[in-house]
C-alpha cells in the first residue's frame, strides 16, 4: 500500500509535534516563549532540548550533528561531528549537550568576510536559531544556525534577515497600535518563493566543460525549435520528469517543506516548483534546502538540475519569484484589500508604505538581486527589466488616483466573470490582474518581487525589502503619533505619499523599450549590471537607513559590497578561462579538422575529375577558415583581458573592467564559435548541442 503523505510529512523534522511529545511541559513552554517572543533560552532548557533532540535523531538513523549555516558564498555550509564520546571501558556513548546545541565553532577564515577580519583570525561562531526547526538528512542532525565572527560581525545571511524582520515588526506594531489594535504581539513577513530550474541528461552534462565549471553553456548555437510554439509551458509532463518530480516532492515533504505546485515552464527542459507561504527566515532556510535536494534527487534519475539564471542563450532563463506579504500573529494579512479597499484605511496605509519604500530604495532592491548570472536575465524580454516599478492593477490605481485628487471613488462591487458557457461556474475577479512583466507586482493580497535569480538566496532581497518598508513605517508612525487628529493626518499622509511616489507605479508592458525611455523621464534608476548596482549599497542614504534600524553595521555594509563584487568578478573570470580552454582544446580543433577533411575531399574530387568546380566545399572551407582565424584572434584578446584583470587591485575597478572589457570579449568569441557550430558537421562537433540538451530528457 502506498504511504500517505500525511503520515510521512515532516517525519525528518524536530517540529512542534515532536517537541510537545518529547519535552516536559515546562521545557516545552519555555522553548515556545523563546521561539514566539524571543525570550532568552535558559541553559537547563537547552540541555533538555539537546537530549530529546539527540534521542530523536538517533532513532532516525543519525550518527552526527552539524550546525547548518548560510555564509556569504550564497550556499550553505556544514561541519559534522559525531555524537560518540569515549566510555571508561573502551566503548562509546552517544552524547549531545545544550552547549553543543546552542554554539558551534567553525573556521571563519575561509569564508568571505569582505575585509571584516584578517585571514589569520580564524575563530567564528554558529548560534542555534530555535525559530527554524532542526531536521535529519543523510545520517546527520542538521541544526539551523546563524554565523558570526569572534567580534560579533554577521558573516552570513540569516542574522541580517532576522534583524530586518525585527525592524519591520517593531515599526508595524507602532502603526497597528494607532489603529487601536493592542492584541497583536508580533508582525511577520511571509514569503512563498517560486523556484524555476532546468533538467538535462547527466551523460550529456558530463561532456560539457562549461556546464560542469560554470553551470551554464558558454557556447551553443540555437536549435531549429526552441520555445516559439509555447507548447512546453504548462504542457504534459514527460514520464522521466514526472518520476523526478514525485521523488522530489516526497523528499521535500519528509523535511517539512510545503512543496505545493509543479509544472513545465516556458523553455524546453524548464520547470517550476512553488511552495506554500512560510515565515520569511524559515522560507529562506527551506529554499536553500530545496535547491540542494533538487540537485541531489536529479542525480538519482541520471539527470542534472541546473539552477543558473541563464543556462541556455536564446531561451528563457530561470527566476525565483518572491511572493511577499505582511501578517500579524493572529492571522491578519495587512496587505489584504478586503471587499472595499477604498474604505480600508489600514490596508491603504500599508500599501502606500510599500510603494514609497520601493521608490525610495529602488537601488537597494535592484542590488539585492544582482549577480553575474542574473545580469543575463533581467531585461531580456523574458524577465522584468532592470528598472524597478510597481504594478497595482486598474482598481487600486483608480482608488489611489481618487484619493490623491480628493474626489469620490466610483468603483463598484467585484465583478463576476461571465464565461459564456452555462455549465462553467461563475467566480469573482481578483482586485488586480497579473502582470508578468512587472518587477514588483501586487497580486491580490501580496507583492510578487519577480527579479530574483533562480540560484539566489532569497535572504538578500527580503533583508532590503523588509528594511525599506520598516523605514517608511517608522516615518509614518513618527508623523501619526504626534498628530492632533489621527484620521485627518492619516488621510493627508496617504494623499501626499501617493502624489510623491506615483512615478514608481506602472501597469503596462515592462518589456517594451518605450517603458525604459519613460522610466528615465520619471527619474527611475536603470542599473543594468551588478557592477552598476552593487556600489549603491554604500550610498549615504542607504548606510544611514540600514545602520539606524540595526540591519547592518557600516563595516558590514562595505564588506558586503566588496564580497558581492568579488563574487561577480570571480564568476566571470572562471567563465572566461573556461571559454579559452574550450576554444583552444575543443572547438577550434574540431572546426579545423572538419575544414581540413573537407579540403582533402576537394583535392580527391579534383584528382578524379579535374574540371569539377567544388563550389560548395570551397566556399565552406573558406568560411570555416575565416571563422577559425576569428576564434583564434578572439581567444587571444580574451586571454589578454584575463591577464589584465589580475592587475586590478581595487574591486570597483575590477568589476568595471569585467563589465566593460571582459564580457564584450567573451561575447565576441562566442559569436564566432556559435556560427562555426552551425556550419560544422555534427560528427565533428565536440560536445552535445542545444537540441540534444533541451530535448534529450
Number of alpha helices (DSSP H) and beta strands (DSSP E) in the chain: 25, 17
Let me know if residue 588 belongs to a domain: yes
Do 590 and 466 lie in one domain? The reply is no
Do 629 and 487 lie in one domain? The reply is no
Instruction: Note the helical H segments in 179-273.
Output: 202-205, 209-214, 239-254
pLDDT at position 427 = 34
pLDDT at position 36 = 81
Task: Quote the CA–CA distance of 648 and 646 in Å, as a whole number.
Answer: 6
Let me know if residue 561 belongs to a domain: no
The CATH number of residue 594's host domain is 1.20.120.1560
Do 187 and 300 lie in one domain? The reply is yes
Per-residue DSSP letter, 123: B
Do 174 and 123 lie in one domain? The reply is no
C-alpha dist (Å) from residue 373 to 290, 319, 391, 450: 19, 10, 25, 15
pLDDT at position 606 = 87
pLDDT at position 114 = 72
Q: Name the phi and psi angles at 157, rounded to 5.
A: -105, -15
Let me know if residue 224 belongs to a domain: no
Let me know if residue 222 belongs to a domain: no
Do 119 and 234 lie in one domain? The reply is no
Do 538 and 614 lie in one domain? The reply is no
Task: Quote the CA–CA distance of 383 and 441 in Å, as a whole number.
Answer: 13
Let me know if residue 612 belongs to a domain: yes
The CATH number of residue 32's host domain is 3.10.20.70
278: nearest Cα among 209, 318, 325, 235: 325
Strands (E), 397-523: 440-442, 447-449
Per-residue DSSP letter, 503: G
Let me know if residue 256 belongs to a domain: yes
Q: Which of 491, 525, 552 is the last residue of a domain?
A: 552
Q: Which of 107, 126, 155 is the last residue of a domain?
A: 155
Do 24 and 98 lie in one domain? The reply is yes
DSSP secondary structure, 577-602, as one string = HHHHHHIIIIIHHHHHHHHHHHHHHH
Helix, strand, coil content of the chain in percent (nearest 5): 50, 15, 35
Give the total number of structural domains in the chain.
3
Q: Which of 552, 579, 606 is the last residue of a domain?
A: 552
The CATH number of residue 324's host domain is 3.30.590.10
- 99-104 LR contacts (CB < 8 Å, sep 24+): 99/46, 100/50, 100/65, 101/46, 101/49, 101/50, 101/53, 101/128, 101/143, 102/41, 102/46, 102/127, 102/128, 103/127, 103/128, 104/67, 104/79, 104/145
Parts of the chain with a pLDDT under 50: 414-429
62: nearest Cα among 44, 36, 80: 80
Let me know if residue 58 belongs to a domain: yes
Do 130 and 19 lie in one domain? The reply is yes
C-alpha dist (Å) from residue 683 to 211, 590, 604, 614, 688: 21, 10, 21, 22, 11
pLDDT at position 433 = 52
Do 304 and 406 lie in one domain? The reply is yes
Helix/strand/coil for 104: strand
Q: Crossing angle of helices 554-582/615-645, nearest 10°?
A: 150
Do 339 and 404 lie in one domain? The reply is yes
For residue 438, give its domain range. 164-217+230-415+422-552
Let me know if residue 605 belongs to a domain: yes
pLDDT at position 108 = 66
Cα radius of gyration (the chain): 28
Residue 509 near residue 530, CB atoms below 8 Å: no
Task: Quote the CA–CA distance of 132 and 502 in Å, as a whole number.
Answer: 38
Do 31 and 122 lie in one domain? The reply is yes
Do 151 and 177 lie in one domain? The reply is no
pTM of the predicted model as reported, rounded to 2 decimal places: 0.93
Half-sphere exposure of 294 (CA within 13 A, CB side): 25
Exposed (0-12), middle (13-18) or buried (19+): which is 245, by Cβ within 10 Å?
buried
Amino acid at each position: 500500500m502506498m504511504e500517505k503523505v500525511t503520515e510521512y510529512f515532516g517525519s525528518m523534522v524536530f517540529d512542534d509535534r515532536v517537541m510537545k511529545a518529547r519535552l516536559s511541559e515546562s521545557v516545552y513552554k519555555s522553548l515556545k516563549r523563546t521561539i514566539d517572543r524571543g525570550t532568552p533560552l535558559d541553559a537547563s532548557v537547552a540541555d533538555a532540548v539537546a537530549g530529546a533532540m539527540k534521542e530523536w535523531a538517533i532513532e532516525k538513523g543519525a550518527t552526527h550533528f552539524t550546525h547548518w549555516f548560510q555564509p556569504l558564498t550564497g550556499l550553505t555550509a556544514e561541519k559534522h561531528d559525531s555524537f560518540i564520546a569515549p566510555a571508561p571501558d573502551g566503548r562509546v556513548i552517544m552524547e549531545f549537550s545544550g552547549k553543543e546545541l546552542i554554539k558551534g565553532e567553525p573556521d571563519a577564515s575561509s569564508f568571505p568576510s569582505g575585509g571584516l577580519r584578517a585571514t589569520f583570525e580564524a575563530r567564528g561562531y554558529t548560534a542555534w536559531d530555535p525559530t527554524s526547526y532542526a531536521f535529519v538528512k543523510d545520517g546527520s542532525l542538521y541544526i539551523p544556525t546563524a554565523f558570526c565572527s569572534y567580534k560579533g560581525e554577521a558573516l552570513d545571511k540569516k542574522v541580517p534577515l532576522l534583524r530586518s524582520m525585527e525592524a519591520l515588526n517593531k515599526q508595524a506594531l507602532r502603526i497597528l497600535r494607532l489603529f487601536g489594535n493592542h492584541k497583536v504581539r508580533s508582525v511577520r513577513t511571509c514569503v512563498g518563493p517560486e523556484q524555476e530550474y532546468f533538467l538535462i541528461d547527466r551523460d550529456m552534462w558530463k561532456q560539457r566543460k562549461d556546464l560542469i565549471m560554470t553551470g551554464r553553456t558558454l557556447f551553443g548555437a540555437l536549435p531549429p525549435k526552441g520555445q516559439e510554439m509555447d507548447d512546453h509551458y504548462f504542457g504534459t509532463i514527460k514520464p522521466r520528469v514526472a518520476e523526478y518530480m514525485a521523488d522530489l516532492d516526497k523528499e521535500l515533504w519528509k523535511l517539512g517543506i510545503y512543496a505545493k505546485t509543479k509544472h513545465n515552464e516556458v523553455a524546453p527542459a524548464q520547470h517550476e516548483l512553488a511552495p506554500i507561504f512560510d515565515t520569511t527566515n524559515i522560507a529562506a532556510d527551506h529554499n536553500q534546502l530545496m535547491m540542494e535536494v533538487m540537485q541531489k534527487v536529479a542525480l538519482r534519475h541520471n539527470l542534472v538540475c541546473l539552477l543558473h539564471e541563464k543556462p541556455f542563450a536564446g531561451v528563457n532563463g530561470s527566476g525565483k519569484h518572491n511572493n511577499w506579504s505582511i501578517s500579524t500573529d493572529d492571522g491578519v494579512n495587512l496587505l489584504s484589500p478586503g471587499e472595499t479597499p477604498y474604505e480600508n484605511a489600514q490596508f491603504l496605509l500599508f500599501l502606500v508604505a510599500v510603494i514609497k519604500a520601493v521608490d525610495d530604495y529602488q537601488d537597494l532592491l535592484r542590488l539585492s538581486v544582482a549577480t553575474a548570472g542574473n545580469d543575463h536575465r533581467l531585461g531580456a524580454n523574458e524577465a522584468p527589466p532592470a528598472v524597478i516599478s510597481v504594478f497595482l492593477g486598474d482598481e487600486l490605481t483608480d482608488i489611489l488616483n481618487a484619493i490623491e485628487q480628493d474626489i469620490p471613488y466610483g468603483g463598484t462591487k467585484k465583478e463576476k466573470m461571465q464565461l459564456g458557457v452555462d455549465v462553467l461556474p461563475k467566480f469573482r475577479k481578483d482586485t488586480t490582474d497579473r502582470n508578468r512583466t512587472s518587477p514588483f507586482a501586487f497580486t491580490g493580497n501580496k507583492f510578487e518581487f519577480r527579479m530574483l535569480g533562480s540560484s539566489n538566496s532569497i535572504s538578500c532581497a527580503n533583508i532590503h525589502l523588509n528594511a525599506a518598508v520598516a523605514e517608511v513605517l517608522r516615518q509614518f508612525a513618527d508623523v501619526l503619533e504626534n498628530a492632533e487628529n489621527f484620521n485627518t493626518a492619516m488621510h493627508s499622509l496617504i494623499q501626499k505619499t501617493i502624489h510623491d511616489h506615483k512615478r514608481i507605479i506602472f501597469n503596462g508592458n515592462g518589456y517594451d523599450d518605450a517603458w525604459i525611455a519613460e522610466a528615465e523621464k520619471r527619474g527611475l534608476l536603470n542599473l543594468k549590471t551588478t557592477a552598476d548596482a552593487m556600489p549603491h549599497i554604500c550610498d549615504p542614504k542607504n548606510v544611514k537607513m540600514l545602520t539606524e534600524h540595526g540591519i547592518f553595521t557600516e563595516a558590514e555594509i562595505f564588506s558586503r559590497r566588496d564580497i558581492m563584487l568579488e563574487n561577480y568578478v570571480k564568476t566571470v573570470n572562471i567563465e572566461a578561462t573556461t571559454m579559452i580552454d574550450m576554444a583552444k582544446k575543443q572547438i577550434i580543433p574540431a572546426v579545423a579538422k572538419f575544414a581540413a577533411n573537407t579540403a582533402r575531399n576537394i583535392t580527391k574530387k579534383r584528382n578524379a575529375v579535374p574540371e569539377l568546380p567544388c563550389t560548395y566545399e570551397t566556399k565552406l572551407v573558406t568560411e570555416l577558415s575565416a571563422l577559425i582565424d576569428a576564434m583564434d584572434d578572439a581567444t587571444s584578446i580574451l586571454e589578454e583581458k584575463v591577464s589584465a584583470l589580475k592587475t586590478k587591485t581595487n574591486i570597483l575597478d575590477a568589476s568595471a573592467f569585467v563589465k566593460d572589457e571582459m564580457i564584450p570579449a567573451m561575447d565576441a568569441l562566442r559569436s564566432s564559435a556559435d556560427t562555426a557550430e552551425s556550419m560544422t558537421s555534427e560528427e565533428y562537433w565536440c560536445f552535445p548541442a542545444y537540441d540534444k540538451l533541451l530535448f534529450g530528457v
